[in-house]
Chains A and B, each alone.
Chain A
Amino acid sequence: MNFGSLDLNTVWFALVGVLFTGYVILDGFDLGVGVLHLFAAKRDEDRRVFLNAIGPVWDGNEVWLVTGGGALFAAFPAVYATVFSGFYLAFMLLLCALIFRAVSIEFRSKHASLRWRRFWDRSFALGSFCSTLLIGVAMGNIAWGVPIDERGEFAGSFLGLLHPYALLMGVTTVALFAMHGAIYLVLKTEGELQAGVRARVNPLIIAFILSYVLLTLATLLYVPHVTEAFRREPWFFALVVPVVLAIANIPREVNRGREFYAFLSSCAAMAGLMAIFGIGNYPYLVFSHPLPEHSLTAFNAASSPKTLGIMLTIALIGLPVVLAYSVSIYWIFRGKVRLDKMSY
């Protein structure tokens, strides 16, 4: 396919953003369920309900990360290489956390022993928590900027990645995913269990808003290249309005018992937050701090126009199909969780 004079680099910047947004929204709720697992579900059956609420969809959700990673590799190889080798230990810990939470879901209920289940419950919760935190810390570093040398290689250290701004982003992400997961659980549970989860929604929203306000203040004060983007194009601030409205809408819908709309609002808020994140960073994929001239951008780190064109063709064929059957599958598994003998 020939895409003429289309700015493929910007298109792919946006598309990689779309894939990661899909990941954050979808795996966001099942990671959030994991974060809440030990606190919000105390009985064995409740925990099984939690696991089966995400059972049919969690691995499809994780594919958004795999595909996002693949797309980053293909569209911006230099970013993939620099970030993944530079954040080496952080990514190894993330992998370890993702492995544990994935297999815990599968293993946990397959053996009827208290110790077995307790072990995998903990590993599921801890794996989910650590994955979420590390994803947040990684995003925090991308926004803050990391030291890049003249070869385009990472020039920092593992401990250097754990600065306050990145950690604050990590905490914000944990609060966001936990909130998102709680709303999803309200949608999938009933009775006493649902009441327990419902009571956690508002505190989690408040926790998220507090940390997000702090994060925004820190961004305005200390991350000039992000503020610069908004100063250049002030209408981007308009994006903040729907995000605020969407978040404000969540408690309203929960109180009215319209859980599905609450969940949609939460999804919309996350999409808006990712859009703000993406626009704030454009065209930087990895901002070099303190030497901005070494930054990796959508233009200097990209594959050839030919490859970007081929991949756009692949994406245009593939993504609509993926969306169509993903929506059908979510539709088939709508409604409250019922445990049967094929359940986890």
Chain B
Amino acid sequence: MSTELLARLQFAFTITFHYLYPPLSIGLGVLLVTIEALWLKTNNPLFHQMARFWTKVFALTFAIGVATGIVMEFEFGTNWATYSRYVGDVFGSALAAEGIFAFFLESGFLALLLFGWDKIGPKTHFLATCMVALGAHFSAIWIIVANSWMQTPAGFHIVGEGLKASAEITDFWAMVFNPSSMDRLTHTVVGAWQAGAWLMVSIGAWYLLKRQHREFARASMKVGLALSLFASVLTLETGDYSAKGVARNQPAKFAALEGLWETTPNAPLHVVGWVDGKAEATHGLALPGLLSWLAHGDTAQPVTGLREIPRDERPPVNFTFQLFHLMVGIGFAMIGLALWASWALWQKTLENSRALLWLLVISVLGPQIANQAGWWVAEVGRQPWIVYKLLRTSQGLSAVVHANQIIASMVMFTLVYLLLFAAFIFLLNEKIRHGPDAADLTPTGKLALGFKDTKGGAA
């Protein structure tokens, strides 16, 4: 295998594993804020119990997110040194801003969220939870700004030539608000909300199936489903914007998403299909005109086909096509499931419908698979470029790193991550089996102050 392919595989593996966790932190962050707000508002100890339980789940995902995130920060330099020199002036400042504005905020207030229960009052604790959630969202902003700049570079100029060439910022805000950053940011964030929300729904459904902790499960289900429904619909909306942006800014990627070879008006949209790259043909079930309409709001408008893109600037088509369709398919399934479950909850039939509950239990996989597929589409669809139209992936490698070094580190990461994943699943499973703590229905320490008025009653 070539050094390039190995370096790409290593990055893909480490980022894919890492990205199992941040969406959960972002999504659970929003949910924790919601739950604590409900607790402050209603004084219902059930919400205190929920906050404590979900905080522990949050802590578990957060720790692995941090540990695997440091790898990402180092990996730009270790495996992609030439790329790092090329983009450092632009990309680095976004990354540094992420550290200053997001990571410090997140990790600092996390201390209060996790360990501050008896040391600070409920309102301060709520503030800490808000800050952690805000920090998680800030980190999404900066990293997606940086990644979007690689998709649609803006606000820079190139200085130097050949090996010495690099991008320099000319306009910071044009870099931040590059053509794709806001569309991709919103789409990513609502995808992350789904990851957290469906985890909550899934565990709630499990308890309902087992007829355990039913109060707790019902309340979790309500909060989780509300966010699932909201976020799944927004995912469609933001996905539509993102796709229109891709059509505008990255025609090669857009053509690959749908396996479109010939530039044509009335371009078809595939529901399912298979791309034959050699014959330059796409087979499958297609709806005529719909792609033109989605891209431009008009079926008569042409959509650029792959044949107009030079051969050495085309991404792998079938791979991009399949993962894109997987993501979209799951996206629609999640909307359908959210609607169905909400309806059942409304009709009070949810707890008797075992089939639906089982579906909800496995629903946690949906957003995880779709989030990963979406990122694979975004990154593979940009190939052969590492920075679109500026720097090829093959040119971004570390000149001094050899294939055997990458293999050695790959083996290490694979073993370590398998172990981490096993421990994560084991502990999550234990946490779920253990369930919410009955004692948490009675808040202690400074938090108990919230119950002063109802002493003898709730407390």
Contact = CB atoms under 8 A, between A and B. Distances in A.
Interface string B85-109: 1011111110111111101110111
Interface string B145-177: 000000000000001000100101110100000
Contact of B112 (A73, A88, A306, A332): A332
Interface string B385-417: 000000000000011110001001100100010
B118 interface: yes
Contacts of A100: 416
Most buried by A among B84, B101, B104, B426: B104
A120 to B, nearest CB: 9
B168 A304 contact: yes
Interface centre among B70, B101, B409 (most CB of A within 10 A): B70
A342 interface: yes
B169 A310 contact: yes
B22 to A, nearest CB: 14
Given A85-B399, A88-B405, A303-B168, A329 B108 contact: yes
B409 A89 contact: yes
Contacts of B85: 77-78, 81
B103 A311 contact: no
A332 B114 CA distance: 13
B420 interface: yes
A85 B111 contact: no
B108 A314 contact: no
B279 interface: no
Interface string A300-339: 0001101100110011001100100110010011000000
A56 B110 CA distance: 8
A71 interface: yes
The interface size bin for chain B is 35 or more
Contact of B398 (A56, A88, A92): A88
Given A86-B400, A110-B430, A99 B114 contact: no
B294 interface: no
A304 B159 CA distance: 10
B89 A303 contact: yes
B58 to A, nearest CB: 11
Contact of B409 (A88, A303, A326): A88
Given A107-B427, A306-B170, A325 B89 contact: no
B449 interface: no
A98 B70 contact: yes
Nearest to A338: B118
Interface stretch (B60-68, B207-215, B269-277, B284-292): B60-68
Interface stretch (B72-80, B190-198, B333-341, B373-381): B72-80
A261 B117 CA distance: 28
Contacts of A59: 62-63, 66, 107, 110
A111 interface: yes
Contact of A306 (B118, B168, B398, B439): B168
B358 interface: no
Interface stretch (A62-70, A173-181, A222-230, A285-293): A62-70
A110 B115 CA distance: 15
B354 interface: no
A309 to B, nearest CB: 10
A248 interface: no
A342 B117 CA distance: 8
Interface string B405-449: 100110010001000100100110011000001010000000000
A74 interface: yes
Contacts of A96: 412, 416
A38 interface: no
A60 B108 contact: yes
Contacts of A84: 74, 76-78, 81, 84
B64 A103 contact: yes
A105 interface: yes
B92 A75 contact: yes
B218 to A, nearest CB: 24
Interface in A34-63: 52, 55-57, 59-60, 62-63
A86 B168 CA distance: 24
B120 interface: yes
B100 A318 contact: yes
Interface centre among B93, B159, B412 (most CB of A within 10 A): B93
Contact of A70 (B96, B108, B120): B96
B265 interface: no
A41 to B, nearest CB: 19
A77 B89 contact: yes
B49 to A, nearest CB: 13
Nearest to B412: A96
B283 interface: no
Contacts of A95: 70-71, 74
Given A74-B89, A77-B87, 11 more contacts: A60-B110, A67-B99, A70-B98, A80-B84, A91-B78, A99-B416, A106-B59, A307-B90, A325-B104, A333-B119, A341-B439
24 contacts: A55-B114, A59-B110, A60-B104, A66-B70, A67-B100, A73-B84, A73-B92, A74-B96, A77-B89, A78-B88, A82-B81, A84-B76, A85-B78, A85-B81, A89-B408, A91-B78, A95-B70, A103-B64, A303-B89, A304-B159, A314-B100, A329-B108, A329-B112, A340-B118
Interface of B: 52, 56, 59-60, 62-64, 66-71, 73-74, 76-79, 81-82, 84-85, 87-93, 95-101, 103-105, 107-112, 114-120, 159, 163, 166, 168-170, 172, 398-401, 405, 408-409, 412, 416, 420, 423, 426-427, 430-431, 437, 439
The 6 A-B pairs at the shortest CB distance, nearest first, are namely A77-B88, A84-B77, A74-B92, A67-B99, A318-B100, A56-B111
